């Protein structure tokens, strides 16, 4: 399907503030960016670089006053999310080198502390995809999804104790549980068509059966319409924006995802 995504943000900046943005969609095997707009007001100089995960990042200094970011894109994405019940666990020795770092604990995914809990959740499941599905289901059933409730990321341990969280938090817990079973898992940040309420979204991917598969503990069904902005080990790596110095929160944010026809692109 073709989607038109939009993410606009405005900040009220007090002192010149370095930002690292991650708002240019990445094209890859799963999606094709046919059109993209990216405007800044005021129109400050920007430099771009690719981080170690392959995400496109934009560096700039926001000047004092109102600082606005307007982005939109027309993207072709899969109508259906690939699912593969029964896809096997990949023994660590056969994982590609580039996937290994997704086995390690990270800021918000303290995977080394979830071994026992994960074992009990996946008990009796076939190794691989079915284990991850059991984890996704467990998180969906046990951690209440409360959109719009949190600004700061919290970790898998914190969210497990709290029993409720935003999409990012549920994903962190899913990731920590997967990694504790030696299944590589990573956080994905992007858009989801039909998300209620509409917002930026986060989900997770796990590497089983020789490739990455999509999981989302916030949705009861995995429908198509996922658009990837970036991915990494957890929210520390994949922030839509990082700022340095006194924090400036968005004074305005507008996220939209609408379906379009190919002829509209």
Q: Nearest approach, Cβ of 146 to a copy of itself (angstroms)?
A: 21
Interface positions, 78-117, toward a copy of itself (CB under 8 A): 91-93, 97, 100-101, 103-107, 109-110, 112
Question: Which of 1, 20, 99, 198 touches a copy of itself by CB under 8 A?
Answer: 20
- Given the rule CB under 8 A, which of 33-41, 133-141, 209-217, 222-230 is the region that contacts a copy of itself? 33-41
Judged by beta carbon, residue 14 or residue 92, the one nearer a copy of itself is 92
* Residues 6+ positions from 42 with CB-CB distance below 8 Å: 63, 65, 67
Surface-to-core class of residue 145, CB atoms within 10 Å of its CB (0-12 exposed, 13-18 middle, 19+ buried)? middle
* Residues 6+ positions from 87 with CB-CB distance below 8 Å: 128, 129, 208, 209, 210, 213
146 binds a copy of itself (CB under 8 A): no
Give the three-class secondary structure for 188: strand
Pattern 168-207, binding to a copy of itself, x per CB under 8 A? --------------x-------------------------
Rounded to 10 degrees, what is the CA torsion of 164, 169, 174, 177? -90
54 binds a copy of itself (CB under 8 A): yes
140 binds a copy of itself (CB under 8 A): no
- Given the rule CB under 8 A, which of 6-14, 49-57, 118-126, 140-148 is the region that contacts a copy of itself? 49-57
66 binds a copy of itself (CB under 8 A): no
Question: Which of 6, 10, 59, 150 touches a copy of itself by CB under 8 A?
Answer: 59
Question: Which of 1, 33, 84, 198 touches a copy of itself by CB under 8 A?
Answer: 33
Q: What is the DSSP letter of 181?
A: T
Angle of CA points 71, 253, 257, to nearest 5°:
55
262 binds a copy of itself (CB under 8 A): yes
Task: Tell me the CA distances in angstroms from 56 to 20, 48, 52, 180, one per residue in order.
Answer: 10, 7, 10, 29
Q: Which of 260, 246, 187, 243 is nearest to 9 (CA)?
A: 243
Paired sense of beta strands 65-77 and 144-145, if any: unpaired
| CA distance linking residue 247 with residue 79, whole number of Å | 39
Q: Nearest approach, Cβ of 24 to a copy of itself (angstroms)?
A: 8
145 binds a copy of itself (CB under 8 A): no
Task: Tell me the CA distances in angstroms from 232 to 98, 110, 210, one per residue in order.
Answer: 12, 15, 18
What does the binding site for a copy of itself look like in residue numbers (CB under 8 A)?
Answer: 18, 20, 24, 26-29, 32-39, 43, 45-52, 54, 56-61, 76, 91-93, 97, 100-101, 103-107, 109-110, 112, 152, 182, 236-237, 242, 244-245, 262, 265
């Amino acid at each position: 399907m073709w989607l038109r995504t939009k993410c606009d943000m405005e900040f009220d900046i007090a002192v010149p503030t370095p930002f690292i943005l991650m708002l240019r969609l990445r094209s890859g095997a799963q999606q094709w960016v046919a059109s993209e707009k990216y405007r800044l007001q005021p129109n400050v100089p920007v430099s771009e670089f690719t981080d170690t995960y392959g995400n496109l990042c934009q560096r700039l200094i926001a000047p004092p006053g109102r600082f606005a970011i307007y982005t939109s894109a027309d993207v072709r994405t899969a109508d259906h999310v690939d699912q593969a019940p029964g896809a096997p666990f990949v023994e660590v020795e056969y994982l590609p080198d580039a996937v290994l770092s997704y086995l390690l604990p990270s800021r918000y995914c303290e995977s080394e502390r979830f071994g026992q809990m994960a074992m009990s959740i996946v008990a009796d499941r076939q190794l691989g995809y079915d284990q991850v599905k059991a984890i996704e289901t467990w998180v969906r059933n046990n951690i209440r999804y409360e959109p719009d409730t949190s600004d700061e990321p919290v970790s898998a341990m914190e969210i497990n104790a709290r029993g409720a969280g935003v999409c990012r938090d549920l994903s962190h817990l899913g990731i920590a549980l997967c990694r504790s079973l030696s299944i590589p898992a990573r956080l994905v940040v992007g858009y989801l068509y039909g998300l209620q309420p509409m917002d930026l979204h986060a989900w997770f991917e796990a590497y089983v059966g020789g490739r990455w598969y999509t999981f989302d503990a916030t949705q009861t069904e995995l429908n198509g319409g996922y658009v990837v902005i970036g991915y990494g080990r957890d929210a520390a790596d994949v922030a839509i924006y990082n700022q340095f110095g006194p924090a400036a929160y968005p004074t305005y944010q507008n996220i939209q995802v609408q379906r379009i026809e190919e002829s509209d692109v």
